[in-house]
Chain A
Amino acid sequence: MIIMITSQGTTLKSKPNQIFGRSLMFIKYDTENDKWEAFMNPGVNEPGGASIAASQFVIDQQSSAVISGNFGPNAFRLLEAAGIQMWTFDPSCVSIEDVVNAYKKNQLTPFLQSRKN
């Protein structure tokens, strides 16, 4: 299963990013074989619609779940319509590795509703 995590850097030791649309990087992680890859977020430098560009990227990567600190209303609408699960990590996760482990142990919080647009 492919999950995407918003990251401040390019490795599993990097800090996870609280922000979705303007996160610098995404770590794409395959939970079946523990292979991973880092991607620049195509939305990060967009003047507008960053979260939509980021969501479209997550969708196009065939991910089943995405993990971040928060999701805005546009990202929420798009990811929900695409059937991608959204999860948030808690402050005890200081690296992408921690987030992946928390995901595997089912310790993350599902993100079920965004603030109103």
Chain B
Amino acid sequence: MKIAVASGKGGTGKTMIATSLAASLAPGFVIHFLDCDVEAPNAHLFLNPELTGISPAVIAIPKIDPDLCIACGKCVNVCQYHALAMIQEKILVFSQLCHGCGSCALNCPVSAISEEEKIIGTLHQGKTKHGIMHYVGKLTISEPMASPIIHKLRKLPQTNPDITILDAPPGASCAVVSTVYDADFILLVTEPTPFGLHDLKQMLGIISQIGIPAGVIINRHGIGDKVVETFLTQTSIPIMMKIPYKHEIAIGLASGKVLTDFKPVYRRKFRALFEIIKAHIIADPGEP
């Protein structure tokens, strides 16, 4: 079972929720935790895995052989990322825009395109003291493409766990879709402010298109206004948990602890949340 934690707006508490869910389920289940926020991964600060395995995340970028190239422009036309352009019968490669999909080489009628390896980041794995297998991708600074490394990270685990928890990047862009697209359930963490609502709506738009059941957790409940709750009453999306805005929670998180470790009452709440998530998945398995 795959549960993704996403938000739209950044800093709403995705990692707090994802690590708490993982830690409270770890005693009974084999858990894989995938930190897909590859631009700024931080779940390891809370789960403290011993990161042992490290491997480069490599994508294949095109290299054009000018002697073979017939300047037909097919590679430029098939590249949906605009990583290739043609001027005066010469192909230019913009490697930072390349996702490494290989379409250009596949479509070249004269096999003028070979592929060169480019390292865009690193993949790490290790076990936490909770017994969770922790996987994290780190994008190299100045590399702009998060999606390819997320795809590599998703393929890293060699075994099948009971539950995979996917900690998504903030925003509502390709990188988020690459994280959540095949989840069985998406937990959306928001805060009760107009900004939280605005980005929550963007995420709900994406989710309704990919057809995955979802629920909302309102974090920092008590600040802001009622806009999120009022909006959700007009939808079929349930509010699954409210976490109050409390100084003691901020202190615990700032000291690098998992919420369910310094506030054990939340362990039971997160286990109950998991049961509700399971019921939702059974009731609404989403698109095949």
A residues whose Cβ falls under 8 Å from a Cβ of B? 43, 46-50, 52-53, 55-56, 59, 74, 77-78, 81-83, 117
Given A74-B94, A78-B92, 17 extra CB contacts under 8 A = A46-B82, A48-B82, A49-B81, A49-B83, A52-B83, A52-B94, A52-B97, A53-B82, A55-B85, A56-B76, A56-B82, A56-B86, A77-B94, A78-B85, A78-B87, A82-B87, A117-B96
Residue of B87, B97, B173, B174 touching A49 (CB-CB under 8 A): B97
| B residues lining the A interface (CB < 8 Å) | 76, 81-83, 85-88, 90, 92, 94, 96-97, 173-174
Min CB distance, A32 to chain B, in Å?
23
Residues of A within 8 A of B97 (CB): 48-49, 52, 74
**B96:A56 contact, CB within 8 angstroms:** no
Q: Is the interface of A mostly helix, strand, loop or mixed?
A: helix
The residue that B81 contacts in the complex, of A48, A59, A82, A83, with Cβ under 8 A, is: A48
Query: What are 10 residue pairs bridging A and B, where the CB atoms are less than 8 Å apart in the complex?
Result: A48-B81, A49-B81, A52-B85, A52-B94, A56-B82, A56-B85, A59-B85, A59-B87, A78-B87, A81-B92
Query: In the complex the two chains form, is A50's CB within 8 Å of B82's CB?
Result: yes
Q: Nearest 5 A-B pairs (CB), nearest first?
A: A49-B82, A52-B82, A82-B87, A49-B97, A56-B85
A50 neighbours in B (Cβ, 8 Å)? 82
In whole Å, how far is A71's beta carbon from the nearest beta carbon of chain B? 14
How far does the alpha carbon of A56 sit from the alpha carbon of B88 in the complex, in Å? 11
* A115 nearest CB across to chain B (Å): 14
Residue in B76, B81, B87, B96 whose CB lies within 8 Å of A81: B87
**Bound: A43/B81 CA distance, A:** 11
